[in-house]
Structures are given as structure tokens and as C-alpha cells.
Structure 1
Amino acid sequence: MRVFARMQKMAFSPLLCVFLDVVVLQTVAWAQLSPLLLPHPFLTLWGGALLRASLLLFLALLPGCPPWLRGPEAAKTMLVHSFLHPIYITLLWGCGQPTMELLRGWHSWQGILQGYGVTAVSLLLWQRYIPSLSSKPTKEPQKKNGASLQRLMGYMKPYIIQFSAVIFFVIISSLGEMAIPHYTGRMTDWIMNEDEPEAFSHAITVMSLITIMSAVCEFVCDLIYNITMSRIHTCIQGQVFKAVLKQEIAFFDTVHTGDIVSRITTDTNTMSESLSEKLSLLMWYFMRIVFLFVFMLRLSWKLSLFTALGLPVILVIPELSGKFYQSLSVKVQESLARANDVAMETFSSMKTVRSFANEEGETERYKKKLEETYSLNKTEAAAYAVSTWTNSLSSLALKVSILYYGGRLVTGKDVSSGDLVSFVLYELQFASAVEVLMSYYPHVKKAVGASEKIFEYLDREPQLPPEGSLAPKVLQGNLQMKNITFAYPKRPDTPVLKGFSLKLKPGEVTALVGPSGAGKSTCVSLLERFYQPQEGEILLDGQPLQSYQNQYLHDKIAVVSQEPVLFARSVRENIKYGREDATDEEMFRAAELANAHKFISDLSKGYDTDAGEKGSQVSGGQKQRIAIARALIRKPQILVLDDATSSLDTESEHLVHEALRKSSNGCAVLLIAHKMSTVEKANRIVFLKDGEVLEEGTHEELLAKGGSYAQLVHKQNTAFLRNTEGGSDSGGI
């Protein structure tokens, strides 16, 4: 059995299939010399092709046939390989061309090698441009890949006038470049024939004028093109930034900031540079190829046809390398994004890094990420070198073949000497233009690969409910959360709120207290519509929260968090953030209510002082007061203070709360705090634990109950007394 399996495996080896194919061809060659078949060469030609195809199909039908010899794709390979040469010879015979030499030698070793080479190229082109026979149409149309050159070029539609002008100047300039080979050939004829002595100087003058005109057109073309592409780059970058800002908050929980920044900056720059430089060269040289081939056809259709036959070989190579480049580009960009994540995280937490003296550790982390990028860059460089080498080699082979065939045509008096010189010059420019296309096409593919993540962000639909339309002129501020159940997207099986209910009334201060992890900040996130509850509903003046316009809702609900974020702008711009139309009087009033006007006025430049990145130039307490002023300038109907005074001293905290009580007439206030002294004067206190409301009432009522709230107050008072006694003892010592 083992011997049989081994023989069966050998029977289906590619080398044995080639051997059987050669045996068939040699058998046909021997039969062709017989007196019976000698007068009928086409009979042996097509009979041999049919015999080759039958043998290969028979092997495919045998049991144990390997996968590479089965299926429609294998049948296509066999048919192309078997009938390509007979079809070609018959077509030449039908056009009146001499074919006797091909008929007698198609089964020679030279013919066999040529047949396998042409078959390989034909299959590559077929695979690339003709749909697969085995592919079945799907009922649902597949979603097109967003990263496509056609889509990138779609951004050029608004600038159709500019690109029309670019194409016009490209055509004029390309036609101008055709003058030198043309007049060079004419001068060759004039010199060899020794007639028209003035024609030489006339040709020089005409060539000079046309060359200058071509150079001017090229300059104007490049100027218009580069300016237009810069506009397109700015447009794409702005659209990506806008698309990212529209995503839901959960998107930013799962995607690193460095990754987003890398897509907006690095990827768009890579894509833009490749398109601006490489696409212009592709367009330029493509136009030159068209005009060059037209002029070559005018001189000699045989040489032009011979040149065209060699093009498929060198056109397949950049397509294959372009696909490899595209996949490599995606991996390189992802690697750079991971390195950017480390850098962004390190720089944003520089104080923590310095406090733990871990500069060397962060440097090593960054180096490891860069090593991954370097490894991919080496592969990319090697792929580029191989692609360039194969392109140059194939182009050189094409040049040598054309020169050899052209020499034979000159010997046969099919073309004149001047036409031959012109054709050779045209062909050299033609080959050079093809080399440029092969060289820069993978770069355009690289730009397409770099754009995949960009279009991923542009196409991503925010996981948000449809924006509402309500924007009433008068909003009372009655807010109700009814039976809310919520779990974060990252932890869908761990509910944070369980049947939670809460009411906020205008003119009242409602305090939400409880241990850490109870779900207090989650309530704030739901009020800001960052997330949607899985069960229950949130009503504002009796209407669902999602029925209000987003801008209107955030104007009416202002939130100040425990760690507010200030931007690297002036204090004035931070307070007026989102309300740039507010007057200075409104800004001063909000700052006074937040107990911030005095310290802001004492700064070096007052309200024009730069707050620093994330408010690093002001203290924690000052940052909180600026954030409170930023919320109050909106004159909200609902004010949420999420432990917003935790960094203030007792006196400043008291002043801020007193000011808020005076200014909150008609405004519903939700106060979240850990200090019981902060919530004692609230109109209503809600005690939350493990996502459920345990107690609700005033400070006195909850103390009288002696429940969880009373225990929490007792623990804080006990801890405060211990700290006070410890401080007194230490002072005595």
C-alpha cells in the first residue's frame, strides 16, 4: 500500500506532468513527418493540442488527484496551455502572415519553453483581470473595500476644473516632448541623403521652441496640481478629525489616543505625499506612454506590436509587488501607532514617570516598539529592492529584444534609417516611462494601504441613537431616572446600576453619596448621554433625554468633574469654552460665583494667562474653580458637581457652595461628594451602594434611621477625630 501511495503521489507530481506533456509533443512531431500527415500541418497542430488537453484532463479525473489539478481553475490552466499556441499560429495564418516555420517548430524545445512562458504570463493576466470561474455570485453584495484608489480620487471631483487644466497642460507638454525624437529621425535622413541643408538649422530652431513651450506647460501643470492636492489633503485630514469627534465615548475607551493621532497625522501625510508626488508622475508618464505608442505605430506597426507583446510580462510584476506593498504598509502603520501609544502615554504621565525614576524603563519600552517597526521596514526595503531589480531586468530584456528585431527590419528594408532612429528614441522613452510606472505604482498602492484605517474611521457609524429635535425655549429642569440598569460595553455581564431611580427638581440640591464603585460617576455619564442604559429611561421635563438636540442638551446640563481638564489655552478661552460669544461681564460673574475671580486677576496676565497643557500651570484647586466657572457661564438648568470641590480648602469650598446656592435659583443641582460636611445642607440625599438605592432623605432623617448613611458619617467623624488628636499629640511632642 505504501508503494502504491508513493507511485500515485509521483504520478501527480508537476515534473511528471511536464514530462508527459513533452512526450506528447515529441510524438506529434514524429507523426508530423509521416507521408500521410506531412501535407496537413494544421491537422497535427490542432490534433496535438487536443491530445495534450485530453491527457491533462484525464489526469485530473483520476482518483487521488491533488487539489492543484482539480476544479475550474485547473481546467482553465490546461486549456490555455494546450490551445494558446495553435490559436496564435492560426490567427497569423488567417492574417496572411508566413507561418510555415512556426508550424514545423512549435513542438521544438524552443517552442516548448516559449509556450510555458507565454502560458504563465497569460494565466497571470487572466487571474488579475478576468473573474474566477469558481466564484459564485452571492445574494448579498459584498461591501467594497474603503481603501481604494477610486475612492481617494473621488475627493478630486470638487476640483474638476483644476484637474482639467492639469490634464490639458500634461497633453501639451507630452506632445512637445515628442518633437525631439521626430526631428532627430528627420535629420538622420537629411544627413544621409545630403539634401535640404537648411532643414537641419530649421529643425534645431523648432525643437528649441517646442521644448521651451513644453517646459513652461510642465511648470504650470505642477503648480496647479500641487496646490490642489494640498487642498485635498487638508480636506481629508479635517474630515477624519471630524469623524473621530463624532464617535461615541465607548469608542475612545477601546482605541488608544496614539492610534487615533497616528491615523489623523501620519497616515494622512503618507497617503497625501504618495498621491501628490507619485500619482502625478503616474499620470504624467501614462500620458507620455499613450503619445509615444501612437507615434511608434505611425513609424512601424510591426515594431510597435512586438513592443506591445512584451508589455504583459513587465506589467504583471508591479501589480504583484503592489499587493505585497499594500499589506506591508498596513502593518508598518499599525506598528508606528503602537509606538506612538507608548510615547503619548509616557509624555502625558511625565510626573509619574519621574517620581518613580522609570525613564530608562519607558525608553526600553519605546525601543522595543521601534524595533518591531524597524523589522517591518527591513522587509519593506527588501521587497522594494526585489521589485526594482525585477522591473529593471524585465525592461532590459525587452529593450534588447526590440533592438534585435528592429535590426532585422532595417536589413529587410521595412523601415528607413531615420524612422528606425526615431523609433529607437521613442522606444527608449517608452521603456523609461514604463519603468517609472512600475516603480511608482507600488507607492500608490502603499498610499492605498495607508488609507485603510483613515476610511475605516470615516465609514464608522457612531453607535449613538438618532439625535433628537427638541429644543424648547423654556426648560424647567425636572429630571427623572427611572429603573435604570446599565453595564459598560467592556463588561456587559457586570451591571453597574441595577434598577436605579433618581429625581432632580429645580431649585433643589440633591446629593448622591456612597462608597467608591457604587455607580455615582456612571449616573453622570448617563446624564451626559455618553452611554445608553440597557433598561429604564431618563426623562427631562417628561420627555426622553435622547429626544433633545445634542447641543441644546449640553447647554442646559453642565458637569464639573473631580479631575477637570483644561486646555493649553488662556484662562479666558477655557472659561468661555463652547460659549465663545459670551461677554466679559458674564465671564467675570461666573468666575466670582466660582470664587476664582480674585486669584485669576492676580495671575501674571490675568485672564489671558496660559493655563498650560491639561491645566498644568495652575494648582488643583484653581483648576477646579476655573472648571466651575466654565460650567456656570452657560447658565445651566441642571448643574452636576462630581466631587468638584475635593481639591479646595474648607474655606474656599464653603464660599463656592454658598455662591452656588445663591445662584442656583430655579436650577437643579446634583452634588456628588465623599465629604459628609459637603452634603449636609442638601435638600435631599440619596445613598447608593452596588448600583442600588439603599436610603433616601434629608441629613437629619438619614441619621435618625441609623442605617448605611449614618454609619458612613460616623466613620468619617471618627477618622477626623483621630487625625485631629494625632495632630495635637504630634504638636505637643
Structure 2
Amino acid sequence: MGHFLSSFATFFSGVLIAAICCWEVALLTLLVVPLILVIGATYTNKMNTISAAKMLFLSDAASMLEQTITQIKTVFAFVGESTAIKSFSGCMEKQILISKGEALIKGVGTGMLQSVSFCSWALIIWVGAVVVAAKKSNGGDVLAAIMCILFGAIAITHAAPDMQIFNQAMAAGFEIFQARQKILQGFSLSIPAGKMVALVGSSGCGKSTVISLVTRFYDPSKGEILVDNNNIKDMDLKFLRKNLAAVSQEPSLFAGTIKDNIRVGNMDADEQQIENAAKMANAHTLYHIPISTRQRLLLSP
């Protein structure tokens, strides 16, 4: 961003100095700039659309490839190699088509910008010669004005790579920050202390979202969540999570023993507290066994 702003500042400074030296040359520059900006804006808009499409297909291909590699044994077991290759090739073919369109737009857009620039320089030099011939300005001032515009134009061309980076960032940001479908609307729930409650519903209806809201993995856009009439937004985040216990749909274990994993919930717990927690979970006979052997343990009679 700093380099981008510096390039534009250099360009406008050059035009300002050129106006002081020879206003006719500077005025012609200001008349040409809008045409260049229109071409540049159209080019940028087209490139934004293409970049967004490329990011979408690339994301699909990467996701499909990751799933295939992760579940490679399942793919082999069901002889799904051809299907996986076909799906990946389909994503790549779409990527190639978009890249061809991108190359065409880049070629046409860059060519138009260069053509307008060359014509502009020819016109500026011609106007400068006319001004000198009419003795409205001396050759030194006209040359100074042209040189200021030249260096300003060179600086503005250095901003082109920055524009490409901005396009890619906007395309990536669109995927991250685009409006999502609202899951919970008009949702209200009150749970008395000590009461057991079950949230039941179809996949995607918001059951996990409720847990994520309570644990403040994200905050609600409207409304509030109260614990003992205290808004959880006003609570210390570490204190809130330390006093909550949650088991995800796909629980994961860290490397080490079961005992080490139980201690993650309370690093200050002593041996007796860990054993009591294991007994409550019916895992007290397992917590000394390394995780690498848990599959053998589960399969043993």
C-alpha cells in the first residue's frame, strides 16, 4: 500500500510541477488521464472477476485433492482412482479456460493502455513544440514539464504490480468475508442450573453453532448470551472457557498418554483429580496407556 500511494503521489507531484512550468502541457496531460483511468478501471474490474473465479476453482481442486490424499486407502478400496482423477482434471480444465480468458484480457488491456500512452506522448511533445514555436513558453520550461510528466508516468506504471496484488487480495477476501446464510434467527433458549438439555435437529440447523456461541468462538450479530444474568461478552474469555467443558463431534487426542490428555483440561490437577476424572468418564483403566496403542486396546476382547 505504501509503494502504491508513493507512486500516485509522485505522479500528481510531477503534474503539479509541469503546470507551473508549462500549463498547456499539464492541461493536456489532465485531459488524457481520465481516458487512461477508464481503461484501467475496466481492466481491473475484469481481472477482479477472473481472479475470483480462479480462486474458487483452485479452492475446489485443492479441497478435492486434500480429501483424496487423506482418504487414499478408502479411494483405493472402492477403486475410485479414476473418479478422483477425473474430478481433479475437471477442476484444472476450468482453470485453464479461465487462464486463457485472463491472458486475452491482459493482452488487450495492456495493449490499449500502451497505445493510449504512446499517442499521449506524441500529442504532448507536439503541443510543446507548438507552444515554443508560438513563443508562449521557452524550450527549457516545456522540456521541464515533459520530463516531470515522464517521471510521473514512470512512477504510476510501478503501481501496476500493486494493482494485481490488490485484485488477488480482493478475490481471496471475497471468499472469506462474503455474506453467509444466517443459521439462527429469532432463537431463544433458557437452561436452568442443573438441568440436562438436548438440542436435536437436522444437519446444519445450528446445533454446533449454539455451542460455538456459548464458548465464544464467534459472537452473535444480534442479541446476547447470559450466564447468571451476566453477558458473556463482559466476561474474561479465558475465565469463561476454563469454566466450560465441551466435547466436539470429532474429538482429537494429543500425542502422549491418556493421562496427559486429561490434564489438558486442568494443568494444575494432581494425580488423584486426574484419576477421579477418568473414573467419571469410565476411562480410569486406560489413562496410562499411550495413544499409539489405543486402537489395539479397543480391538482386544
Task: Tell me what 1:581 maps to.
Answer: 267
Show CA shifts across 1:313-335 (max 9, x none): 11110111111111112111111
In structure 2, the CA distance between the partners of 1:388 and 1:371, relative to structure 1 (3 Å rule), is same
Q: 1:373 aligns with which of 95, 108, 122?
A: 95
Task: Tell me what 1:346 maps to.
Answer: 68
Contact 1:318/1:439, CA 8 A, preserved across alignment? no
How much has 1:305 moved relative to structure 2?
Answer: 0.8
Q: 2:251 aligns with which of 553, 565, 585?
A: 565
Q: Comparing both structures, which one devotes a greater share of its residues to strand?
A: 1
Correspondence 1:329 to 2:51: yes
Q: 2:116 aligns with which of 377, 394, 402?
A: 394
Give the AA of the match of 1:423. Answer: A
Contact 2:201/2:207, CA 8 A, preserved across alignment? no
In structure 2, the CA distance between the partners of 1:289 and 1:591, relative to structure 1 (3 Å rule), is same
Mapped partners of 1:302, 1:331: distance in 2: 45
State the number of aligned residues.
275
Correspondences of 1:58-207 after superposition (within 5 Å):
none
How much has 1:421 moved relative to structure 2?
Answer: 2.6
In structure 2, the CA distance between the partners of 1:429 and 1:359, relative to structure 1 (3 Å rule), is same
Correspondence 1:291 to 2:13: yes
Contact 1:317/1:387, CA 8 A, preserved across alignment? yes
Correspondences of 1:572-721 after superposition (within 5 Å):
574-577=261-264, 579-585=265-271, 586-591=273-278, 594=283, 595-600=285-290, 617-620=292-295, 647=298, 649=300
Correspondence 1:488 to 2:202: yes
Contact 1:528/1:554, CA 8 A, preserved across alignment? no
Mapped partners of 1:418, 1:310: distance in 2: 23
Mapped partners of 1:560, 1:303: distance in 2: 69
Contact 2:44/2:167, CA 8 A, preserved across alignment? yes
Contact 2:47/2:167, CA 8 A, preserved across alignment? yes
Correspondence 1:420 to 2:142: yes
Contact 2:18/2:146, CA 8 A, preserved across alignment? no
Correspondence 1:405 to 2:80: no
Contact 2:57/2:95, CA 8 A, preserved across alignment? yes
Show CA shifts across 1:572-594 (max 9, x none): 664345x2534252335545651
Correspondences of 1:229-378 after superposition (within 5 Å):
279-356=1-78, 358-359=80-81, 361-378=83-100
Q: Secondary structure at the match of 2:114?
A: helix
Contact 1:406/1:420, CA 8 A, preserved across alignment? yes
Correspondences of 1:368-517 after superposition (within 5 Å):
368-437=90-159, 440-441=162-163, 443-456=165-178, 463=184, 477-479=194-196, 487-488=201-202
Give the AA of the match of 1:343. Answer: L
Contact 1:353/1:359, CA 8 A, preserved across alignment? yes
Give the AA of the match of 1:391. Answer: L
Q: Any unmatched runs of 5+ in structure 2? A: 213-224, 233-238
Task: Tell me what 1:498 maps to.
Answer: none
How much has 1:448 moved relative to structure 2?
Answer: 2.2
Q: Secondary structure at the match of 2:178?
A: helix
Give the AA of the match of 2:262. Answer: I
In structure 2, the CA distance between the partners of 1:398 and 1:556, relative to structure 1 (3 Å rule), is closer
Give the AA of the match of 2:202. Answer: Y
In structure 2, the CA distance between the partners of 1:366 and 1:554, relative to structure 1 (3 Å rule), is farther
In structure 2, the CA distance between the partners of 1:347 and 1:573, relative to structure 1 (3 Å rule), is farther
Q: Any unmatched runs of 5+ in structure 1? A: 1-278, 493-524, 532-545, 601-610, 612-616, 623-646, 651-733
Mapped partners of 2:149, 2:241: distance in 1: 69
Alpha carbon RMSD of aligned pairs, Å? 3.9
Q: Secondary structure at the match of 2:88?
A: helix
In structure 2, the CA distance between the partners of 1:311 and 1:587, relative to structure 1 (3 Å rule), is same
Contact 1:318/1:438, CA 8 A, preserved across alignment? no
Show CA shifts across 1:508-537 (max 9, x none): xxxxxxxxxxxxxxxxx9699569xxxxxx
Q: Secondary structure at the match of 2:98?
A: helix
Show CA shifts across 1:258-317 (max 9, x none): xxxxxxxxxxxxxxxxxxxxx333211110012111110110111111121111211110
How much has 1:349 moved relative to structure 2?
Answer: 1.5
Give the AA of the match of 2:104. Answer: A
Mapped partners of 1:352, 1:338: distance in 2: 20
Give the AA of the match of 1:290. Answer: F
In structure 2, the CA distance between the partners of 1:480 and 1:290, relative to structure 1 (3 Å rule), is closer
TM-score normalised over the length of structure 1: 0.33
In structure 2, the CA distance between the partners of 1:438 and 1:309, relative to structure 1 (3 Å rule), is farther
Correspondences of 1:17-32 after superposition (within 5 Å):
none
How much has 1:597 moved relative to structure 2?
Answer: 2.8
How much has 1:462 moved relative to structure 2?
Answer: 5.6
In structure 2, the CA distance between the partners of 1:311 and 1:282, relative to structure 1 (3 Å rule), is same
